[in-house]
């Protein structure tokens, strides 16, 4: 911010794709859980997030991605889904 312009940080294309996919899946799973199980949407959402975490782990294994890579990948998506699932499980 030395010349008056704000700093803009950008992700590499792969990381941006992973973040976009995570956000879209988060919204989709939330909406699906609200419609599928209106009596207990938090519990259903927790189960669906766990399934998404397992799916991301399998994708990461198939793509042979490194768990601690410098860019975001399916392992990071799986960690995000697992974190949301644990949070929802604690709330519900």
**pLDDT digit string (tens) for 64-78?**
999 999 899 999 999
Tokens 């410098």 appear where?
70
Asked if 77 and 22 count as a contact pair (C-beta separation under 8 A), the reply is yes
Mean pLDDT of the chain: 90
pLDDT at 1 > cutoff 60: no
Asked if 88 and 73 count as a contact pair (C-beta separation under 8 A), the reply is no
pLDDT at 2 > cutoff 60: no
- Is 59 part of a structural domain of the chain? yes
- Is 49 part of a structural domain of the chain? yes
- Is 7 part of a structural domain of the chain? no
- Is 4 part of a structural domain of the chain? no
Give the closest residue to 15 by CA, choosing from 66, 70, 55: 70
pLDDT at 92 > cutoff 90: no
- Is 6 part of a structural domain of the chain? no
Identify the domain containing residue 62 by its residue range. 13-91
Q: How many domains does the chain have?
A: 1
- Is 39 part of a structural domain of the chain? yes
What pLDDT is stored for residue 4 in this prediction? 67
**pLDDT digit string (tens) for 28-56?**
999 999 999 999 899 999 999 999 999 99
């Amino acid at each position: 911010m030395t010349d008056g312009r704000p700093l803009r940080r950008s992700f590499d294309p792969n990381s941006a794709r992973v973040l976009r996919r995570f956000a879209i899946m988060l919204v989709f799973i939330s909406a699906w859980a609200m419609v599928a199980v209106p009596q207990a949407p938090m519990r259903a959402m927790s189960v669906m997030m766990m399934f998404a975490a397992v799916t991301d782990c399998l994708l990461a294994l198939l793509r042979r991605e490194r768990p601690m890579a410098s860019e975001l990948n399916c392992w990071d998506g799986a960690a995000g889904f697992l974190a949301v699932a644990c949070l929802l499980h604690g709330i519900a």
